[in-house]
Amino acid sequence: MGAAASVKKNEGNNATGGPVKMTPKEAEGVKKSNLKVKRKKRESFVMTMARAFGFVKDKASVIVIGLDNSGKTTLLNCLKPTDGSHQFLESTPTIGFTMEHFRRGKLDFKCFDMSGQGKYRSLWETYYKDAQGIIWVIDSTDHFRMCEVKDELDTTLNHPDIKDSDISILLFANKMDLPDALTPNECMEQLELEKIRHRDWHISACNAFTGDGVVEGIDWLSRSIAKRQNNS
């Protein structure tokens, strides 16, 4: 009776509805797989509750890229913690990259401010794999280099570490205060952003010097990243 019960326990159903016997090794594999699924569900529940009660602070690694002189460093400067008074910090061209931290809501951002100079752009891909988000800053007044922006953006989107990922992309059409600035819709048309599929993306106008429009864009990125983290 004991042996029969043991065999029956290891049976399943085949395509015809009849019993399928599993070897002890196969049965052990199924058992381990089921335990792994249960453990992941339990861990997900624990993390969800911990986040809800504020015991866990979510973190996000973000790379900030774009052509040189687009305003990447200036944009990050206005997100740095201050004493409450807005400070206009003079920016110098980034050599290689710099790292900045800021917090928005319950999300702690670690941002890699990448140089936009041509000889440093090959460094961008080094940080794609571990990034949860990309902030792409566009100089909306530089009409002549929009084709170059499109080429670099297409290269990024087709990179193996980006193409098959669900990384969120926030594009800032910077320098919106200047009279010859392209609108977000005009940038979207020239960059053919409507062709982006299977990922969250958003484009927003901003003035990195005054901070206008920056927080709204970062709030969108925070929600997009948090949504993926909660679903993982």
pLDDT in the model for residue 142: 96
Paired sense of beta strands 58-65 and 107-114, if any: parallel
Q: Six-digit token pair at 72? A: 């990447």
Q: Match 């997100």 to its residue by tokens.
A: 79
Active site residues: 117
Mean pLDDT over 170-176 rounds to 97
What are the distances in angstroms from CA 214 to CA 87, 167, 178, 192? 15, 20, 16, 22
Q: What is the pLDDT of residue 101?
A: 83
pLDDT at 218 over 50: yes
Output the average pLDDT for the chain: 81
Mean pLDDT within 210-232: 89
Average pLDDT over residues 1-12: 43
pLDDT of 52: 52
Q: pLDDT of 25-69, one tens digit each?
A: 777 877 877 877 777 666 555 545 544 555 445 788 999 999 999
Strands 168-174 and 133-139 turn out to be parallel
58-231: in CATH 3.90.1150.10: no
- pLDDT greater than 50 at residue 168: yes
**Percent over 70 (pLDDT), the chain:** 76
Residues 185-194: contacts with CB under 8 Å, at least 24 apart:
187/138, 187/140, 187/146, 190/146, 190/150, 191/138, 191/146, 191/149, 191/150, 191/153, 192/150
Domain map (residue ranges) of the chain:
19-56, 58-231
Q: Output the pTM of the full model.
A: 0.71
Given pLDDT bands bounded at 50, 70 and 90, which one contains residue 173? very high
Residue-wise pLDDT for 80-120, tens only, equals 766 444 444 455 555 567 888 888 777 888 999 998 888 88
Q: Give the Å distances, CA to CA, from 11 to 1, 14, 21, 26, 63.
A: 16, 9, 5, 11, 51
Give yes or no for residue 206 having a pLDDT over 80.
yes
